Structure 1
Amino acid sequence: MTIKERKTKNKRDKIKVCLIGAGRAGMIHARNFTASIPDAEIAGVSDTDGTEAQRAAAELGAAYWYEDYSEAIMKCNADAVVIATPTKYHCEIAIMAAAHGMHIFCEKPMAMNEEECERMFRAAEENGVILQVGFMRRFDAGFVKAKKMVDEGEIGDVVMIKSLTRGPSTPHEWMYDIKKSNGPLAEVNSHDIDTLRWFSGSEPERIYAVGGNFRCRDAAEQYPDFYDTVLLNIKMKNGVIGCIEGAQGVGYGYDARLEVLGTRGVIKVGSLKEDTVISCSAGSGIHSDAVKSWRNLFEQAYLEEDKFFIQCIQNGSKPAPDGRDGKMAVAVVRAGNESINTGKVIKLVM
């Protein structure tokens, strides 16, 4: 099918999606398209692990599976791709998909650096395809409600925003290499960075960050620059103060929370508790289950962003968050890592 034919498909036809990267995040999206979005279907699956690609294709009812993403893009006749590979491959996959007229959903972090981000959304614009970045918190009911309250002036003018993400598990080995992963600021805190921009309505101006390796000591000798805990302070152009905290390997559960302080009040989003059930007994005291995984906490948000992606394709509307939102998060990560390495406040010029 040519690019022109793909763009002029009957709106009643299902949008065919090619999954590139059949890991945890990729399969969340793929299962949504398969089971919960009637206007979409998985046409093919690509993963460097052929066994995983074949297994995923069988589960999803996809006709084709590949080990090489370029073969998937060229052969599976899809309208769109979901890119859920390690970050260093995002740019090359997105550019190739755009050249073949395929709409792009790219998981965060968008790319390794701002130049790659520019190349990605330039390719999307030149080929007339959608590029949406996977910041699912913009689709979470609690975050959406809080943003509406901020916009309606419920707490007055926003003064300070605190956002944190702490993950229970230690990183995959490739993530220890900051040159390959951009570190926890990218892998863990990209969502927090986007949330800060979203709620402040402004762009970052000055950044200062500190980090340390407290839980992954075995990696310290081979990867001395790796940090599993980070604190990043940001001054936004409109004067709002931002504070972002991230940690990996905390063990106790998945922890994602937001606090927005205004001149007349405060809004808080998120809780460590998995539900509202709390038990208390003489033997064990007070007990409540903690959220175990980001997959549980943001399950509905992932579905809503996937629905939105398909709707944008069908309606020809502009996605949000888009490539420029992805680029700004990447820019903050780069500045944050520079601040950790140099101990300096980094001025972000965009």
Structure 2
Amino acid sequence: MIDGKIGVCVVGAGRAGMIHAVNFLKNVPGAALAAVADPVEETARASARELGIETYYLSHKQALENSDIDAYVVVSPTKFHVDIVKEIAAEKKHILCEKPMAMNVDECEEMIQAAEENHIKLQIGFMRRFDESFCHAKSVIEAGEIGDVVMVRSNTRGPSIPRPWMYDIKKSNGPLAEVNSHDIDTMRWFTGSEFKSLYAIGGNYRCPDAKAEFPDFYDNVVMTASFESGAQGMLDGAQGVGYAYDAKVEILGTKGCIYLGNLKGDNTLICHSDTRTGTYPLVESWRGLFKDAYRREDQAFIECILNDTEPKVTGLDGKMAVKVVNAGNISIMEKRIVEL
């Protein structure tokens, strides 16, 4: 504890890691940012300087020697999650693990078991469940205002070209994991049901550098699914689209439909009299679009520790999304329907 507050260390000082770090530094009551950790010393040092804190580490193992740290936010590459989470859990420290939870279901189960055996909180970073509009949609569904949910269509299209390490599907699990884990969790959450079967197709349309060495890499994916409830689902994912960060959801019910998401970055509309066309700023990044959702997610993590309650997004939620990612990649590679 730090002055009566939950001491937090962020493991991984990249883009998402710094969002969490800033939140715990100044936006989350009951929490105090104790340190950041990153294996690249220049990155660790620079992030600490930017945050105005003195303490940084080159690994989570070094940070575990600091008794002031009560909780960790794991924002390292996915392939390292299982070992980091198990080692932190063994020291009885609470964990918020970013998505994707792990590379496969077995790793997820190891992480869940480690949390249960050591009686610590394990929350998974599906921040869209904390977004105001997504929460409103969930309450509308639960109130029965659109009847029974029969179809959820969710798309996420990122503007930037994937980083080279993502080209190897065996190491990254591809865009279905890196980009569309949120869509998968959204579809589970809004249908209130598990995936029953799925069929996915992928293609590489924007990353020519990957084609020779990584012929299985895809930067565009479409997936259809059925759910145990009888509902249907559609997922549309892409990387390197360039035009904007495009995240939208449609929830179709027997008595109505809910539409979430907008390309507009704000409500400014610029109209041109000479061409009779209008333009407006577009959403440039998930960092701005879901800024408040990240803050609420981080606040919920601290509250579940202080109140000793179940995290709102559990290890089971993370595991089920990974299960769908793995099945989707099998469907793409083997060109067949996969039953879950």
Q: TM-score normalised to the size of structure 1?
A: 0.95
Residue 107 of structure 1 pairs with residue 98 of structure 2: yes
Residue of structure 2 in register with 1:301 after alignment: 293
CA deviation vs aligned residue, 1:185-244 (integer Å, no higher than 9, x gap): 000000000000000010001010000000001111011110000001110001000001
Q: Report Cα offsets for 1:149-183 as digits up to 9, x if no partner.
A: 11111111111100000000011111111011000
Secondary structure of 1:118's counterpart equals: helix
2:99 is the counterpart of 1:125: no
1:314 and 2:306 are equivalent in the alignment: yes
Contact 1:209 1:339 in 2 (8 A): yes
Decide whether the 8 Å contact of 1:166 with 1:247 is kept in 2: yes
1:167 to 158, 174, 184: 158
Q: Contact (CA 8 Å) 1:121, 1:323: kept in 2 or not? A: yes
Distance 2:68 2:107 in 1: 26
SS in 1 for 2:145: coil
Please name the residue that 1:137 is paired with: 128
Task: Give the secondary structure class of the aligned counterpart of 1:74.
Answer: coil
Residue type of the partner of 1:44? A
What is the SS of the residue equivalent to 2:206?
Answer: coil
Residue by residue, what CA displacement relative to the aligned partner does 1:325-345 show, whole Å, maximum 9, x if unpaired?
Answer: 000000000000000000110
Paired residue total: 339
Q: Percent identity?
A: 53
CA distance in 1: counterparts of 2:64 and 2:196, whole angstroms: 39
2:332 to 325, 337, 340: 340
Unmatched 5+ stretches in structure 2: none
Alignment correspondent of 1:150: 141
Which 4+ stretches in 1 moved above 4 angstroms?
A: none
Instruction: Measure the CA separation in 2 of the matches of 1:130 and 1:158.
Output: 31
Structure 1 residues 332-341 or 67-76, which shifts more? 67-76
Q: CA RMSD in A?
A: 1.3
Q: Distance in 2 between matches of 1:286 and 1:226?
A: 37
1:170-189 correspondence runs (5 A): 170-189=161-180
In the alignment, structure 1 segments of 5+ residues that lack a partner are 1-8
- Picking from 180, 192, 198, the partner of 1:201 is 192
Q: Deviations over 1:231-264 (max 9, x none)?
A: 0111000100000110000000100000001111
Supply the AA of the counterpart residue of 2:293: A
2:41 equivalent to 1:50? yes
Provide the C-alpha distance between the structure 1 equivalents of 2:234 and 2:171, rounded to a whole number of angstroms: 25
State the distance in 1 between where 2:205 and 2:64 align. 41
Does residue 275 of the first structure (1) align with residue 283 of the second (2)? no
Paired position in structure 2 for 1:248: 239
Residue of 198, 216, 219 corresponding to 2:210: 219
